[in-house]
Amino acid sequence: MKILVPVKRVIDYNVRIRVKPDHSGVETANVKMSMNPFDEIAVEEAVRLKEKGKATEVVAVSIGPAQAQDTLRTAMAIGADRALQILADGDIEPLAVAKILKAVAGREAPQMVILGKQAIDDDSAQTGQMLAALLGWPQATFASTVEITEDRVLVTREVDGGHQTLELTLPAVVTTDLRLNEPRYASLPNIMKAKKKPLESLPVAEFGVDTSPRLTLVKVEEPSVRQAGKRVQSVAELVDKLRNEAKVI
Amino acid sequence: MPTYKAPLDHYRFLINEVFDVAQLARLPGMEDFGPDVISSVLEEAARLAEHEIQPLNLPGDAEGCRYENGTVTTPKGFKQAYDRLCGGGWTGLTAETRYGGQGLPHVAGTAFEEMMSSANMAFGMFPGLSQGAYRAILNHGTDDQKDLYLPMLASGVWSGTMCLTESQCGTDLGLIRTKAIPAEDGSFRITGSKIFISAGEHDLTENIIHLVLAKLPDAPSGVKGISLFVVPKFMPVPNGNAWKAGTRNGVRCGSIEHKMGIKASPTCVINFDEATGWLVGEPHKGMRAMFTMMNAARLGVAMQGLGAAEVAYQNALTYANDRLQGRALKGPAAPAKPADPIIVHPDVRRTLLTIKAFTEGARALSVWVGMQLDIMHANPDPHAKQEAEDLLALMTPVLKAYFTDAGFESANMAMQVYGGHGYIHEWGMEQFVRDARITQIYEGANGIQALDLVGRKLPQNTGRLLRRFFHPVQQFCESNAADPTLAEFVVPVAKALGKLQYATVTVAQKGMANPDEAGAASSDYLRLFALVAMGYMWARMAKGATEKRPQAGERAPFSPARLRTARFFMARVLPEAEMRFRQVMAGGKSMMDMPADEFAA
Ligand SMILES: Cc1cc2nc3c(=O)[nH]c(=O)nc-3n(C[C@H](O)[C@H](O)[C@H](O)COP(=O)(O)OP(=O)(O)OC[C@H]3O[C@@H](n4cnc5c(N)ncnc54)[C@H](O)[C@@H]3O)c2cc1C
């Protein structure tokens, strides 16, 4: 069984995000970039399935600028067998990503696509769902366990109020949640091997997908700073403030 | 709780913009290790250091090591972290691939040592000492010894120690009393007591390989009568393609020391009682073998000094931005707050920048010197090899003494930024100071490094080693002096170099007539030397920070912060060279004239 794992290059989760002065987006120049943490979990899960003998090949794919090669090498250092880079500049919205991935799935014919439930840069949480719809495959989102049996996959999902277990027929799309696994540290031999694993680069034009944005970004702003709390002397004062200052009652 | 982020950006800058690290990948056997590979390796090293090793630092200090009945227990979490290090291949980072190592360049190795030391100096000593043992056997052992011990040390399954010190001798190893008696089977029976042995006993590995200095029955007295032996805690027995620990050898840990810092690193009394050992290298040539081990170890200790300064700086910087106290002298900088963050105060800035100028300059120096190690090992051209070896020999005492002196001073200054809170355990700052202090003492006290520089390295091959340093600095200054953007950095360095050259001639001449003169000048001379080397590094970094290169990726190499720090270095750190020059030139009479009894008068 072949598993396709789409990975995205995003601002490192440790970086303090700064909004550009003209509010057109967030500052990315000179900022550390890493693999989207949910995608790292997806790669780890795919590699574990391979190590358990459930999968035969893990292919990582990334749509983005040339530097996304680093992200793909990271995926291969964790254990992906090869990588596919689709060169595209600028913002590619989830629908376009899903369409490109559909075309990739057509080429690669995987039995399963495992991807992060969302990317931590724009938090859309749409790509996996759209991809499943476009492919006409079953989907299980926010997975906390993934188990493969014969031609099916059992996925436990974290939902409000507990866990839900779904059984899907393969091929299927699975998106990962935080508790699915803890990604490993890449070992030195694997970092070195990753440099020699095959990485194919293709221009996005080859996939015939219209990647022009359908949304217009109006303005990006920093979250407003939380006001310091105030201590009130009496219940009457509290009620007064809630009514006249906060205007919530 | 203190935090730590590995200085990856700084390493990338040094690797890509300042030094031609790419040249290493052109050396035979190193083709796989271009700057991009080194970067990925450092990135993963950073993750390990930040997430797995650093969190154990403060609790490890509070818990310390425990001694009971000859066994030593390391603090909670150490074993798991150590196993993770081994699992990832990190214990064999620079070890030869034929012995199961990863064969990475030493440049990556020194960077890794800095990260380990910042994250957790006590923890980093375990793999650090194994490295020393590995190098000694690699360079002086027999083929059988190499085949047996090197793979076990590179994989981290076994660890190593260096057993030099005895109660009556630390610096002067000629006084060693531990005896080695030849046995009929070609091995030796080792008997004696060693003290202060780091990682001498612990619970991280199944076997511990001691490298022990001892005297043969027919040994001449003094340092010319010392031999080196390998003495395993458990006798190795074959186990398929590898080895495993067999019966217990006559090696026992008598106690561990209660000490100022690195409390999670056991400092052991190790008693050898007719323990079986094997000679490493030739009889009576143990000091030479030990020096191979110590040269690598001295660079490792230098990186400990730098590592302590770096982590202390990072935390002091955060604190200086958070702590509100007083107002900026020219009026409030944060009027909405009850007070300004203390980073507005000139004296706090002076403190922070003094540390920053040290850590970045020292890191550059470590990359430059680390590259010499790689050139020495891998370059087939004997001339290039010799040049690298000379420079390395010259710079090792300079780096060891300067990085650890300035490293300790830096940790201490960083603690000052915290005011009273710096004195309190839970903030972690006082631990950095306590931990850093030993680096000035072990692996040859810093006074001994200065003597090594003045007494051994300066006169060697009629000053050939010195020329390996003077020439590139001079050349750099000459070829960049006309560049208007670089003149402000190049001119002060050229002047300081002139002073250093003048001081060198004086020390050499006076020292020839009267060795006390060389000894009296040595520590100040070493500092003067280090400051010139740092100036050279800052000038090169200023150059790297101003030149835009076409192959630079999205990371703009231009960095105003680096130029500003370079300016601070020239204005506020380099002037110390003037003072050191005058101290050197003042000669030793004022200290040698004083009769010993008058010191108490
Ligand atoms: C925590 C810790 C860990 C250690 N780990 C190890 C280890 O793993 N293995 C090991 O073998 N040892 C180890 N040591 C020992 C350490 O290397 C020695 O303490 C050090 O070399 C100094 O020796 P000493 O203590 O005998 O001091 P001394 O040699 O007595 O020196 C005292 C002072 O006199 C100065 N001095 C001595 N001789 C001269 C001279 N000729 N010229 C000028 N000045 C001189 C020295 O600079 C020093 O300041 C460790 C020590 C400590 C505290």
For the Cβ of B171 lying below 6 angstroms from any atom of ligand 1, the answer is yes
Radius of gyration of chain A (CA): 21
Task: Please answer whether residues A84 and A200 qualify as being in contact, where contact means their C-beta atoms are separated by less than 8 angstroms.
Answer: yes
**Alpha carbon distance, N-terminus to C-terminus of chain B:** 47
How close, in Å, is residue B90 to chain A by CA atoms?
Answer: 7
Radius of gyration of chain B (CA): 24
> Strands B207-214 and B227-232, how do they pair?
antiparallel
Q: What is the 3-state secondary structure (H, E, C) of chain A?
A: CEEEEECCEEECCCCCCCECCCCCCECCCCCCEEECHHHHHHHHHHHHHHHCCCCCEEEEEEEECCCHHHHHHHHHHHCCCEEEEEECCCCCCHHHHHHHHHHHHHHHCCCEEEEECCCCCCCCCCHHHHHHHHHCCCEEEEEEEEEEECCEEEEEEEECCEEEEEEEECCEEEEECHHHCCCCCCCHHHHHHHCCCCEEEEEHHHHCCCCCCCCCCCCCCCCCCCCCCCCCCCHHHHHHHHHHCCCCC
How close, in Å, is residue B555 to chain A by CA atoms?
Answer: 5
For the Cβ of B163 lying below 6 angstroms from any atom of ligand 1, the answer is yes
How close, in Å, is residue B57 to chain A by CA atoms?
Answer: 20
What's the pLDDT score for residue A118? 96
Mutate to test the pocket of ligand 1, among B125, B131, B165 (most ligand atoms within 8 A of CB): B165
For residue A131, give both structure tokens. 């991809």
Nearest CA to ligand 1 atom 52: B196
For the Cβ of B213 lying below 6 angstroms from any atom of ligand 1, the answer is no
What would the pLDDT profile of B209-252 be if each residue is shown by its tens digit? 999 999 999 999 999 999 999 999 999 999 998 999 999 999 99
**Encoded amino acid at B74, one letter:** T
**CB of B558 less than 8 A from some CB of A:** no
Classify domain A2-244 by CATH number: 3.40.50.620
Give the phi and the psi of residue B188 in degrees, each rounded to 5: -135, 155
Nearest CA to ligand 1 atom 31: B171
pLDDT bucket at B8, cuts 50 / 70 / 90: very high
> Strands B227-232 and B267-280, how do they pair?
antiparallel
CB contact under 8 A, A188 and B40: no
CB contact under 8 A, B44 and A185: yes
**Encoded amino acid at A21, one letter:** P
How close, in Å, is residue A209 to chain B by CA atoms?
Answer: 27
- State the best of B32, B38, B40 to mutate against chain A, taking most chain A CBs within 10 Å: B40
Q: To the nearest whole number, what is the mean pLDDT of chain B?
A: 95
Task: Please answer whether residues B377 and B436 qualify as being in contact, where contact means their C-beta atoms are separated by less than 8 angstroms.
Answer: no
Distance B297 CA to ligand 1 centre (A): 14
For residue B335, give both structure tokens. 């009027």
Distance B268 CA to ligand 1 centre (A): 15
> Strands A139-149 and A152-159, how do they pair?
antiparallel
For residue B319, give both structure tokens. 């604190």
ipTM over 0.95: no
Task: Please answer whether residues B538 and B559 qualify as being in contact, where contact means their C-beta atoms are separated by less than 8 angstroms.
Answer: no
Paired residues of A199 in beta bridges: A83
What's the pLDDT score for residue A36? 97
- Tell me the residues of A at the B interface, defined by beta carbons under 8 Å apart: 14, 29-30, 32, 65, 67, 70, 73-74, 77, 185-189, 191-192, 194-195
What would the pLDDT profile of A72-105 be if each residue is shown by its tens digit? 999 999 999 999 999 998 889 999 999 999 999 9
Question: In the predicted model, is pLDDT for residue B100 greater than 70?
Answer: yes
pLDDT bucket at B553, cuts 50 / 70 / 90: very low
Paired residues of B432 in beta bridges: none
Domain boundaries along the sequence of chain B = 295-444, 452-591
What would the pLDDT profile of B427-446 be if each residue is shown by its tens digit? 999 999 999 999 999 999 99
Ramachandran class of B69: left when φ > 0, alpha when ψ lies in -120 to 50, beta otherwise: left
CB contact under 8 A, A32 and B40: no
Helices (H), B65-141: 78-87, 106-140
Question: In the predicted model, is pLDDT for residue B292 greater than 80?
Answer: no
Task: Please answer whether residues B352 and B341 qualify as being in contact, where contact means their C-beta atoms are separated by less than 8 angstroms.
Answer: no
Q: How far apart are CA B339 and CA B329, in angstroms?
A: 12
Domain boundaries along the sequence of chain A = 2-244
Q: How far apart are CA B287 and CA B172, in angstroms?
A: 11
Give the phi and the psi of residue B381 in degrees, each rounded to 5: -75, 115
CB contact under 8 A, B8 and A185: no
Judging by beta carbons within 10 Å of its beta carbon (0-12, 13-18, 19+), is residue A160 exposed, middle or buried?
Answer: exposed
- Other C-beta atoms lying within 10 Å of the C-beta of residue A212: 9
- Which of B166, B387, B443, B517 is catalytic? The answer is B443
Helices (H), B418-463: 429-437, 446-451
Give the closest residue to A7 by CA, choosing from A114, A102, A82: A114
pLDDT bucket at B296, cuts 50 / 70 / 90: confident
CB contact under 8 A, B104 and A191: no
Task: Please answer whether residues B535 and B492 qualify as being in contact, where contact means their C-beta atoms are separated by less than 8 angstroms.
Answer: yes
Average pLDDT over residues B78-86: 97
What's the pLDDT score for residue B555? 38
Q: How far apart are CA B356 and CA B317, in angstroms?
A: 10
Compare CB distances from A188 to B8, B36, B89 and report the shortest one's residue. Answer: B89
Q: Residue B104 contacts by C-beta under 8 Å, 6 or more apart in sequence? A: A188, B33, B38, B41, B93, B94
CB pairs under 8 A between A and B: 49
Distance B124 CA to ligand 1 centre (A): 20
Give the closest residue to B3 by CA, choosing from A36, A14, A30, A10: A14
**CB of B186 less than 8 A from some CB of A:** no
For the Cβ of B37 lying below 6 angstroms from any atom of ligand 1, the answer is no
Mutate to test the pocket of ligand 1, among B125, B163, B196, B449 (most ligand atoms within 8 A of CB): B196
Q: How far apart are CA B175 and CA A192, in angstroms?
A: 47
Paired residues of B238 in beta bridges: B243
Degrees, nearest 5: CA angle A212-A213-A218? 145
pLDDT bucket at B272, cuts 50 / 70 / 90: very high
What's the pLDDT score for residue B556? 47
Distance B48 CA to ligand 1 centre (A): 32
- Other C-beta atoms lying within 10 Å of the C-beta of residue B372: 23
For the Cβ of B269 lying below 6 angstroms from any atom of ligand 1, the answer is no
Nearest CA to ligand 1 atom 23: B170
Q: How far apart are CA B376 and CA A82, in angstroms?
A: 36
CB contact under 8 A, B44 and A67: no
Q: How far apart are CA B354 and CA B569, in angstroms?
A: 8
| E-assigned strand segments in B263-317 | 267-280
Question: In the predicted model, is pLDDT for residue B76 greater than 90?
Answer: yes
What's the pLDDT score for residue B559? 79
CB contact under 8 A, B8 and A32: yes
Mutate to test the pocket of ligand 1, among B161, B171, B437 (most ligand atoms within 8 A of CB): B171
pLDDT bucket at B548, cuts 50 / 70 / 90: low
Q: How far apart are CA A167 and CA A149, in angstroms?
A: 10
Distance B173 CA to ligand 1 centre (A): 10
Compare CB distances from A188 to B90, B554, B556 and report the shortest one's residue. Answer: B90
Percent of chain B with pLDDT over 70: 98
Q: How far apart are CA B406 and CA B355, in angstroms?
A: 8
Cα B432 to Cα B265, B316, B414: the distances in Å are: 14, 12, 9
Q: How far apart are CA B531 and CA B308, in angstroms?
A: 19
How close, in Å, is residue A33 to chain B by CA atoms?
Answer: 11
Closest ligand 1 atom to B441 CA: 20
For the Cβ of B417 lying below 6 angstroms from any atom of ligand 1, the answer is no
Q: How far apart are CA B354 and CA B406, in angstroms?
A: 10
Residues from chain B that touch A192, judged by Cβ atoms under 8 A, are 32, 37, 102
CB contact under 8 A, A191 and B44: yes
**CB of B37 less than 8 A from some CB of A:** yes
Nearest CA to ligand 1 atom 14: B196
Residue B48, H or E segment: helix B35-48
- In chain A, the residue whose alpha carbon lies closest to the alpha carbon of B93 is A188
**At B63, is the secondary structure helix, strand, or coil?**
helix
Distance B395 CA to ligand 1 centre (A): 21
Residues from chain A that touch B84, judged by Cβ atoms under 8 A, are 185
Q: Verify whether residue B547 is a known catalytic residue.
A: no
Closest ligand 1 atom to B446 CA: 47
What's the pLDDT score for residue B554? 42
Residues from chain B that touch A29, judged by Cβ atoms under 8 A, are 554, 556
Residues belonging to chain B: 601
| Neighbour order of strands in the sheet with A57-64 | A162-169, A152-159, A139-149, A172-176, A112-116, A2-6, A57-64, A82-87, A199-203
- Residue spans of chain A under pLDDT 70: none
Predicted TM-score (pTM) above 0.80 = yes
CB contact under 8 A, B37 and A30: no
Residue B245, H or E segment: strand B242-248
Distance B598 CA to ligand 1 centre (A): 26
Q: Which CATH number fits domain B295-444: 3.30.300.20, 3.40.50.12780, 1.20.140.10, 3.40.50.2300?
A: 1.20.140.10
pLDDT bucket at B551, cuts 50 / 70 / 90: low
What would the pLDDT profile of B369-426 be if each residue is shown by its tens digit? 999 999 999 999 999 999 999 999 999 999 999 999 999 999 999 999 999 999 999 9
Distance B576 CA to ligand 1 centre (A): 28
Give the closest residue to B54 by CA, choosing from B97, B13, B133, B1: B1
Paired residues of B269 in beta bridges: B255
CB contact under 8 A, A187 and B87: yes
Stretch among A20-29, B468-477, B529-538 having the lowest mean pLDDT: A20-29
Q: How far apart are CA B100 and CA B93, in angstroms?
A: 10
Compare CB distances from A29 to B8, B92, B556 and report the shortest one's residue. Answer: B556
Q: How far apart are CA B587 and CA B519, in angstroms?
A: 10
